[in-house]
Each structure stands twice: as C-alpha cells, then as structure tokens.
Amino acid sequence: MKNKSLIWLFAIILVLSAFLAACGGNDSDTATEEADTDEGTADEKATEGEAQQGGTMVYGIDAPPEGLFSSAFYGIATDGEVIDLFDEPLIDYNENLEPQPNVASWETEDNKVFNFTFEEGVKWHNGEELTVNDWVFALETIASPDYDGPRYTNVQTIEGAEAFRKGEADSISGIEVVSDYEITITFDQARVNNLTNLWVYPLPESVLGDVPVAEMSASEWVRSTPIGIGPFKVDNIVAGESLELSKNEDYWNGDVNLDKIIVRVIDNSSVVGALQNGDVDMISLQPVTGPEVEPLENVEIVTYPGLSYYFVGFKLGVFDNETQTISEELPKYQSKELRQAMMYAINRQEWVDAFFFGYANVINKPVPTSHWNAADDSELNTYEYDPEKAKSLLDEAGYVDTNDDGFREDPNGDEFVVKFSHYATGNPTFESRAQAITQYWNEVGIQTELEMVEVNLYYDMIEKDDPSIETFFGGWSTAADPDPSGLWKADQLWNYPRYNNPEADQLLDDALNIDIVGTDQQARADLYIEWQKIVNEEVPMLYIAELEEIKALNKRVGGTEYDVSGQNNPAEWFVTE
Amino acid sequence: MLKYSIRRLLGMIPMLILVSIVVFSLAKMMPGDSLSGEIDPLNTNPEYIAEMREKLGYNDPIHIQYFDWITGFAQGDFGKSTRFKIPVKDVILEKLPNTLFLGLTALFITYVLAFMMGMYSGRKPYTIGDNAIAGINYIMLAIPSFVAAVFAIYLFSFKLDWFPFGGSVDILVEKGTMEYWFSRLHHVLLPALVLGAMSTASYTQFLRNDIIENSRKDFVRTARAKGTPMKKIYNVHILRNSIIPLVTFLGFDFAALIGGAIITESIFTYPGIGQLFLESILSRDYPTLMALTMLLSVLTLVGNLIADILYGVVDPRIRLD
C-alpha cells in the first residue's frame, strides 16, 4: 500500500514536470523551425507527385455535428461540411463565384424561364438513378408548409411556390418536368440572380418519398443512413463524434482516390496535438491556432479567401418591423466627419495583425474582395491610419475639448461619450480586441466606454435597436451571389446601422433590375462599385477586416485545391503513405 | 421503512413543482432564444425566424408556455429538441449509456484509490505518508478539471500515445465484437482517470478520519487484548464500521453519474449528457436544457432518499420512522 501511494505521487510529479518542460520547450522550437515553415499563401496548392489510390484520410471537425445530414435540413456549418463529402449540388461555383454546370446544365433566354438538362446515369448511393423528379421532390419538400428548415427563401421565387405553400395548389406551377433528364423552371419574374438563388440540391425520393415532411428531419434517412450522389457514401455514424465514409464505386464524375474518409470531432484544445501526431489529416483552423500549427513540420497550412467581413456599426436610426421602414433618426452619430474621424483613428492593420495573426486583411468596403463586384481599393478612400487627420476632422466638425478634461465635447459643448458594444462568449481575446478599439478612439480625444454583452442577448439588442447599443462590433458572411440588398437597404431588418440613403438603395435596385442591366455582369458590377463608393465615403459602419479561411493539411495529403468557392471535389484527394 | 419512503416521496411533490418553476423561469430569463443565433443571411431570413418563433410557441403568454411544458413533462413527453429536431427523450437516451459508462468507471477509480489512500492514512495518521496523501488529494481537488484534462491529453495521448485523445469508440471496429468493447474501454479510461483521480479527496479524508476515530473505540481495544492481528482489526473490524458514513455519498454520486461531467466530456469530445448539457445551453435548446435540469433535480432528490434508506440498512442503530 505504501508503494502504491508513492507511485501515485511519482506519477503526479511526472505530469507536472512534463507540463513545465512543454511550456519551456515550445518557444525555442518555434524560433528554430520558423524557417522551414512553408505556408501556402496561394489559393491553390500545387500537389507533389502522382495521385495515389487507396488509403484512409481523417477529416477533423471542431464541433459535434447535430446529425441533420441532409442539405435541405441542416442548420450548422459542421453538418454542412460533412454533407459536402457525400453529396453535391446540381450546379456549383467556380473560383470567380460564377455558377457552372455540375450534374445539371442550363439554358435561359430571359432569366425567367430556365431549361435544365441532367447528366444521365448519375446514381444515388442506394443504386437508384437520379432524375429531375428528385429535384422536384426537394423543391416541393422545402415549399411545404410542414417544412421546418430555413431554406424556403431559395424556393419562393419559383412561380406558384407561394400558392403551393398556402395549400392552394397541389404542385408548384413554375416547375414543368419534360423528361427524366429535362426540366423547365419558371420564376415569378425575371431577375439577374434567379439562378444563384435557386435551391440546387436534390433529395432522394426513393427513400424519403413516403416520409411526411414534418417527420423528415427526424427520420433515419437524414440522421443515421443519409445518402447522396457524391464521391463518398456514409457507412457508419457514431452520433456526436465520428462518421465513416467509404468510396462510392459508382461515382458519376471520375475516379475516387481514397478508400475511406473518417470524420472525427476534435476539440479545439486538442487540434495542435492531433495534427502533430498525424491523428488528423485535414481540419479548418481558427486564426488563433494558426501560429501554433505553423511550426509543425508534418503539417502544411493553406489559406484561401473567405466571404466574411467584420465591421463597427453606428446606430443611425430605429427600425419599425411592422411597416418595414426606418421610423426614427438617431442624432448622435449623424455627422459624417465624426464617423470618418473614428475610422482614421483606428490602426486597422495593427489591430488585425494582433488579433487575427495575419489571417485577415483590412477591408474598405462591405463586399469581400473575392466577389466579382468588389470595388478596387484604388477607387475608394482607404482610410490609412492617421490620428492627426482624425483630430483635424473632429475639430472641423466642432468636436473640441471645451472644458479641458482631455476629451472632446460635442458641437453644442455637451459631454460626448461614445458607447462601444462587443459580444462576449467564452473567448478571452474578444474583450482585449474590443478594448483596443476604444483605446484608438480615446487617443484622438473621443471618450469611449466599452460594454461586453452576452452573445445571444447582443444580436437581439442590436436587432431591436435597444437604446443601450450605440456603436457595435459585428460580422457578416455573404453568399455566392454578392448582392448586398438584404443587409443594406432601408427596408431590411438586418440593415443594423439603419442606414437610410435612397440614392444608394436605388443603385442596389438597379443592379438587380433586368431592364436596366440586362444580363451584362459588368454593367451590374459598375453599379455595385458606384454603391460601394457611396458607403465608403459615408461610413455608416467602419469596415475593419475580411477573414481568410485556414486549412491545416498533413503533408501526406495531396490533390487538394482551395479557392473562394471552397474545396475541390473530394474525389480528387489522396494520401501518400 | 415503507411508511417512511412513502412520506418522503410525497414530500418531494411540492419540492419538484417549486424546482420546475425555478428551472422554467431561469431558462426563460436567459437572453436570446434558440433562433437568435441563426441570423445568417446565407440560409435564412427574418420572416423564417418570426414564423418559427410563432410555431415554437415563444410568443405565447409565459404561464401558458409553462403549463404546456409541465403537463408534457409529467406525462413523459419532454418536448422536441430545437437543435436536433428529434424528441428530447431520444437525445438523452442516445447519450445516457456513454455517460453511465464513463461515470461508473470514474467512480470505480475513485473508490479504489480512495480506499487505498484512506486506509493507509487512517492506519498511520500524522506520518509523512499521511500528510503526503492529504496534500496530493487537496492539490487534485484544487486543479480545475479542464486543466487536468488538457494535461492528461497532452501527456498520455500525444506524448506517450497510450490512450486516444477523444471520442468514445474507434469507428472502424465492428459493433458488438470483443474488440468493440475493448475500444470503448480504451477510450473511456483517460477521461475516467481524470474524473476519478481528481475527486478522491472527500472519500479519502472521510475514511481516514473515521478509521482514526474507530481505532480508539472500545471494541478495538478488546480485539487487541484478545490478540487479534492488527491487520485483521483494521481490514475487518474497523473498515466495516468506517464504510457506513460513506454510504451518504452514494446519493450524490447517483445524480452525478447521470449528470455527467460537463467540462471533461467536452474536452474529450465524449458524447455524453454533460456535453449535451453544455451544447444545449450554448444553442438555447430549452426543451433539452429544461429536461436535463429537471431530471438532475429529480435524481438528486431520489439519490438522497436512497442514501437515507441505505443508512438505515447498513446501520441498524438508525431507525427510520
């Protein structure tokens, strides 16, 4: 018994000393290995050697999936990542985010009526052939009043979808099946973005056809035995922790290299160790993990442009949800000079380097740079960090320190205190990054108070225009169709700054109006660039940064390509031993 | 004893009603709801969110929401998880075996370690060995479990490669085979060790103090006078008496077993009740959250009752009526 306890004591000393050694050791490793780190900054990675057949790859996800493995029903990004491995859309996107045919190709003359032609011989994992009926089934499922997922917005523009949803029609009148491989879809009106908005994932009617729509999301065909048309099929699911996918021998679009993909949930605290030990071959990283992974010799980091941006918004008005209008204008931040001065006062490059570790870039407009309609920085004011300019702008606008307390008063001579809100989660860096922004403003004499708000409450307060929210930190991600109307027009709930500029709204409307721009993408882009010039000048929000997506790949993985539209076809991935 | 049990069970009813009101109001007071995190222009729109809020009954008056929930709950219908979109009962039943397995293994480890350390300390109090054991115990108690879990993963999984760093089973082994159960055990050992070894303090010290106290009692003196070997006195006579107070812990263990270990399960990505609890708080999955909280309250009450009854069973001097 005495020996046992001594062994125990010894074990603890061992644990503690190993930890201390690890703490001390890491720094020196980083210094010496920095030189070998090759960080693929290009959006494409050239792969070494020939593609190899066979092998198993481990694909990491950082949160437990909810288990809704169906494109029509899933809610969180983790489930979406898994679906991408075993299912694919009829139409996908190229590196310029333009739609391109995958299983289906299309023709249209007027952007209202589209004729789609499917590839023949594409099979579901259960051996049934994919036909246009599976797509019709998907569209009618989503348009059903019992449907409990969030995708109806991608179907409602089809002619007759609204009537079908209200139960006035037995089918959607805008869908006309020509043959098993041909279908015509008519939209309620001609729009330039009808195709990019359309729902393009079929659902397997052969297995889900008998399930009532209300019970579909709970059915085994969604949760435990999902099927798709992609290069891998789901063999086995251990709920909440892992999935086993194996090669689809009948894949329609070329050979599949890997035999198996194991999808495994890996907690953020284990990601670095798992990568180092080769327990995971491919995983998305958070920016904060990047610097820890860079020194690993067996891991390569690939970055590619993302489609999200961060901003600091001003509350310029109050939105009335009943009438869908901005009902009231808030006076505090109406001065354009004030907003511009607050933009000049922030050293965005320094901030991004400090909190995103080089995995983000400063942005000057509310459109991620990879979109075809993004304005070039040469056409915009880039608001280089210039505290002197900020001060002179404030002086001109009348924000001067009249009572010598070190902070500026507003033009009427009253105390002026900016309130800045940031959401709080468990992440300790959020408070320091928010604090940094308040310091930039304090330095040019704008007194700033910071409030950290619990994240769920935060967006609720912003959405309801709670008076305690004045300036707020936020982020948006954009879809393949880069039209910003939903986030910017005066009649939109998600126009959080309540920016109200009829001229700018008109430009957005024109860019979607087929009578004005026709099908000419350049004409559309010109209007969007015009719009970006306005919002860049008026800064209803301070554009801070756009993020990069980061993937960590074990060096044995090959055949991968990433661009702004995401990963290439998993069929092309391979591993070398 | 039957009378006593019935009286206690009846006494639980008002307590449970009060608990349910507290659980419900706390859940409703939490800012946001299951839809407030879903604001994402990629795949949803404000109309959908408004419609779902109506469908889920979030706009009903608060007392109607409460009665809807509590009537369902009393009939065994815990509602439908807003996150998984399946009945909460199924979600819980899916995770329960994992948590029980982890909890029992951890409890076993705790008992074995605590007995060894407690008996040693009790027999040789105020020696270096006893002080070292007390010191270690309290250090372990003081180390937060997430720190211990991360250390354990770093050392035993990544450096020594003895245990897997997460999950509950290797997906590649066939279900139901010997290998499958071995894999389950292999996966559960490290989190169980972290859980079990860290919580030995209360058992050890309780046992130690009781052994010291009992060793001064008359029956020990008598046994020694009769010439009974010291080893037998400690391992049989004293130990049997000293285990009795430990029975009170059983009640707490009972609820803890089902409740799972929130932090440890999350770090080891071990899909059990603890992880489910944390995730349902983060995603405002009220039905799951409230069902779990209620379940744990019921289990704590039942656990206490069991402990009290067991107390009477093991120690006839205590009469329950």
Interface test with A, best of B86, B120, B131 (most A CBs within 10 A): B86
User: Of A28-42, A438-452, B188-202, which gets the smallest average pLDDT?
Assistant: A28-42
Q: What is the mean pLDDT of residues A533-544?
A: 93
Q: Kindly state whether residue B83 falls inside one of the protein's structural domains.
A: no
Could you tell me if A96 and A195 lie in one domain?
Answer: yes
Confidence class for position A152, pLDDT limits 50, 70, 90: confident
Compute how many other C-beta atoms are within 10 angstroms of the C-beta atom of residue A216: 22
Rounded to 10 degrees, what is the CA torsion of A153, A155, A157, A163? -110
Q: How far is it, in rounded angstroms, from Cα A436 to Cα A391?
A: 18
Could you tell me if B24 and B120 lie in one domain?
Answer: no
From A536, A547, A540, A497, select the one nearest A383 (Cα to Cα): A536
**Over the stretch B171-186, which tens digit does the pLDDT of each residue have?**
888 888 888 889 999 9
Q: Kindly state whether residue A32 falls inside one of the protein's structural domains.
A: no
From A12, A311, A226, select the one nearest B140 (Cα to Cα): A12
pTM of the model: 0.80
Query: Domain tally for chain B?
Result: 2
Q: What is the mean pLDDT of residues A444-451?
A: 92
Could you tell me if B12 and B134 lie in one domain?
Answer: no
Domain boundary among B74, B101, B120: B74
**CA distances to A537, B117, B147, B242 from B200, in Å:** 64, 9, 17, 16
Cβ atoms of residues A231 and A247 within 8 Å? yes
CB contact under 8 A, A73 and B85: yes
Name the helix (H) or strand (E) containing B103. helix B88-123
Residues of A whose CB is below 8 A from B159 = 18
CB contact under 8 A, A1 and B120: yes
pLDDT at B44: 56
Confidence class for position A8, pLDDT limits 50, 70, 90: low
From A525, A540, A577, select the one nearest A555 (Cα to Cα): A577
Q: How far is it, in rounded angstroms, from Cα A130 to Cα A138?
A: 12
Could you tell me if A314 and A207 lie in one domain?
Answer: no
Confidence class for position A511, pLDDT limits 50, 70, 90: confident
**Over the stretch B16-41, which tens digit does the pLDDT of each residue have?**
899 999 988 888 877 666 665 544 54
Q: DSSP code of B155? A: I
Could you tell me if A339 and A478 lie in one domain?
Answer: yes
Domain boundary among B23, B48, B74: B74
Could you tell me if A201 and A334 lie in one domain?
Answer: no
Radius of gyration of chain B (CA): 24
For residue A352 the two structure tokens come to 């991004």
Q: Kindly state whether residue B191 falls inside one of the protein's structural domains.
A: yes
Could you tell me which residue, B314 or B113, shows the higher pLDDT? B113
Could you tell me if B25 and B123 lie in one domain?
Answer: no
Q: Kindly state whether residue A292 falls inside one of the protein's structural domains.
A: no
First to last CA, chain A: 48
- A164/chain B closest Cα distance in angstroms: 17
Q: How far is it, in rounded angstroms, from Cα B157 to Cα B153?
A: 5
Could you tell me if A332 and A478 lie in one domain?
Answer: yes
From B22, B19, B23, B15, select the one nearest B281 (Cα to Cα): B23
Q: How far is it, in rounded angstroms, from Cα A522 to Cα A541?
A: 26
For residue A548 the two structure tokens come to 């990069």
Q: What is the mean pLDDT of residues A25-46?
A: 37
Q: What is the mean pLDDT of residues B204-209?
A: 90
Q: What is the mean pLDDT of residues A395-406?
A: 88
Q: What is the mean pLDDT of residues A506-529?
A: 86
Could you tell me if B19 and B163 lie in one domain?
Answer: no
Residues of B whose CB is below 8 A from A268 = none
Looking at this protein, which amino acid is placed at residue A108? T
CB contact under 8 A, B40 and A236: no
Confidence class for position A49, pLDDT limits 50, 70, 90: low
**Over the stretch B108-136, which tens digit does the pLDDT of each residue have?**
998 899 989 998 998 888 999 999 999 99
**Over the stretch A97-122, which tens digit does the pLDDT of each residue have?**
888 999 999 999 888 999 999 999 99
pLDDT at B45: 64
Query: pLDDT over 70 for what percent of chain A?
Result: 91
**Over the stretch A50-87, which tens digit does the pLDDT of each residue have?**
778 888 999 999 888 888 899 888 877 888 899 999 99
Q: What is the mean pLDDT of residues A557-567?
A: 89
Q: DSSP code of A415? A: B
Percent composition of chain B: helix, strand, coil (DSSP 3-state, to 5): 75, 0, 25
pLDDT for residue A29 is more than 50? no
Could you tell me if A183 and A320 lie in one domain?
Answer: no
CB contact under 8 A, B83 and A486: no
pLDDT at B187: 92
CB contact under 8 A, B41 and A476: yes
Interface A-B: count of C-beta contacts within 8 A: 160
From B147, B187, B209, B281, select the one nearest A15 (Cα to Cα): B147
CB contact under 8 A, B169 and A478: no
Q: What is the mean pLDDT of chain A?
A: 85
Query: Domain tally for chain A?
Result: 2
Exposed/middle/buried for A399, CB within 10 Å: 0-12, 13-18, 19+?
buried
Q: How far is it, in rounded angstroms, from Cα A383 to Cα A536?
A: 9
CB contact under 8 A, A267 and B36: no
Could you tell me if A327 and A461 lie in one domain?
Answer: yes
Q: DSSP code of A123? A: B
Residues of A whose CB is below 8 A from B158 = 273-274, 276-277
Tokens 């708000």, located at residue: A453
pLDDT for residue A30 is more than 50? no
Query: What CATH number did the domain enclosing A370 receive?
Result: 3.10.105.10
The ipTM (two decimal places) reads 0.76
User: Which one of B41, B129, B150 has the shortest CB-CB distance to A494?
Assistant: B41
Q: How far is it, in rounded angstroms, from Cα A192 to Cα A198?
A: 12
Q: Kindly state whether residue B32 falls inside one of the protein's structural domains.
A: yes
**Over the stretch B51-73, which tens digit does the pLDDT of each residue have?**
777 777 777 788 888 888 888 88
Domain extent, residue A502, equals 306-548
Q: Kindly state whether residue B155 falls inside one of the protein's structural domains.
A: yes
CB contact under 8 A, B167 and A265: yes
Q: How far is it, in rounded angstroms, from Cα B141 to Cα B117?
A: 15
For residue A11 the two structure tokens come to 């074990």
Could you tell me if B68 and B102 lie in one domain?
Answer: no
**Over the stretch A201-257, which tens digit does the pLDDT of each residue have?**
999 999 998 999 988 888 888 888 999 999 999 999 988 889 999 999 999 988 899
Query: What CATH number did the domain enclosing B264 receive?
Result: 1.10.3720.10
Q: Kindly state whether residue B228 falls inside one of the protein's structural domains.
A: yes
User: Which one of B32, B133, B271 has the shortest CB-CB distance to A240?
Assistant: B271
Compute how many other C-beta atoms are within 10 angstroms of the C-beta atom of residue A326: 20
Residues of A whose CB is below 8 A from B270 = 241
Could you tell me if B187 and B47 lie in one domain?
Answer: no
Residues of A whose CB is below 8 A from B133 = 5
Confidence class for position A124, pLDDT limits 50, 70, 90: very high
- What are the residues whose beta carbons fall under 8 Å from the beta carbon of B114, sequence distance 6 or more? B200, B203, B204, B207
Looking at this protein, which amino acid is placed at residue B228? T
Question: A326-331 — which CB contacts under 8 Å span 24+ positions?
Answer: A326/A490, A326/A498, A326/A500, A329/A500, A330/A498
pLDDT for residue A23 is more than 50? no
**Over the stretch B235-266, which tens digit does the pLDDT of each residue have?**
888 888 888 777 777 777 777 777 768 888 88
pLDDT for residue B317 is more than 80? no
Looking at this protein, which amino acid is placed at residue B60? D
CB contact under 8 A, A267 and B166: yes
- What are the residues whose beta carbons fall under 8 Å from the beta carbon of A331, sequence distance 6 or more? none
Q: Kindly state whether residue A168 falls inside one of the protein's structural domains.
A: yes
Q: Kindly state whether residue B82 falls inside one of the protein's structural domains.
A: no
pLDDT at A42: 40
Residues of A whose CB is below 8 A from B136 = 8-9, 12
Q: What is the mean pLDDT of chain B?
A: 84
Domain extent, residue B19, equals 2-74
